[in-house]
A and B are shown apart, each in its own frame.
Chain A
């Protein structure tokens, strides 16, 4: 295409845009793979609870037509049709809803089923944000794909600013060793590559298992005792009793136990790569402040 023709095309597209004539949209995912749609998506399927939240955050909530189990935020998502579990999708139900964009979880969705969807020609966009900036980026990208740039970019910026404020606030905070318990049996935690690890660091905490090679290491109680964290945090599940930290109470020699720094924060905001990380971060930072007072 000659330069003149390209300019002419661009100009005409720009003129047409306000008339709502949909133009092609292209976005690169975090691994550099590019997805182009002929026009912004109108029917979006989100194959993880996090993706559902992010789609809504991008302003595309009313375009989501298919979700998987546990897509419980925002409340509007609860009414959306289910197509199975993120580990096992009901492909027929998904196809029947005729999505024109499928948001997948790179490591969480079953590769075999994803390959099948790809082979059927469905446009797929894989996400797996690992940083705060990554979360903002994904919200922006989803909003481009959905044609809701205004709301999406605004939300992304709000999140960025919120995180920056917290970062500034806690930049010089007293570092405090923290253990984050993901699961009780088997005993699992996270390293600093995980978003939860990044939240802890944001609040001036030092994740005692931050250097572990695995993203979600399985450790023993002995090792936890050895590292002697000053605060232990875990996620609290709605409707269930908060007893996941009871097992530590018998180890009165542990600093965290002695100072009664066993904290619960709501599980889903901290566990999902979504704008709710902002509230989750504030929660954790507050808890760490309490722990600092007790030092």
Chain B
């Protein structure tokens, strides 16, 4: 099981002044939700944590080693990422796409073995897309493609799961299914860190929350201490009304006047 730390991390949002230095500790068993309006830098943060973008200052540390000192392949065995936007210029089947998740585990001369296939199969089944195994990715709906992407991450099976708005395009049923699957993963010892645009999902499913403000300010901590209406209203510049449902708060945006 792995831990992802940040030491005084300031992400590089071009044209924006330095934000608040982040000192996060994403640990096994935690489910983090990153909240903030558009342009706050949620995607930039995620990419920086994955080592895909350089930080402005500060470091990202995976277990005991700074990310920049690690080889990409070693990182990929411990850390995986589901992107918000994907490029699909070359046709590939659903199964092929999921199988690509095994890449960090295979040496150049090895090809996928039976148990790799099984893993991919199980991941696709968990995301309800196994019946589409042989279909071309480009023929799927947005929601189905989203689930395939998550299945790929599951096939990769890293210790740390980074996801950028995993519930995009998903219908209600699958939103719940995915969030519950993520929670199961963190219960089993993974560390889950995801950007969410729907704060109610964070309220229901996350153990920890990071609030990212457009000007670079940030605060983080356990979910119940972060999800205070006043903080959220300031974050989204939107008046909210809080109700309780099924043991968790639900925030409803209302018009000011």
A contacts B: CB pair < 8 Å: no
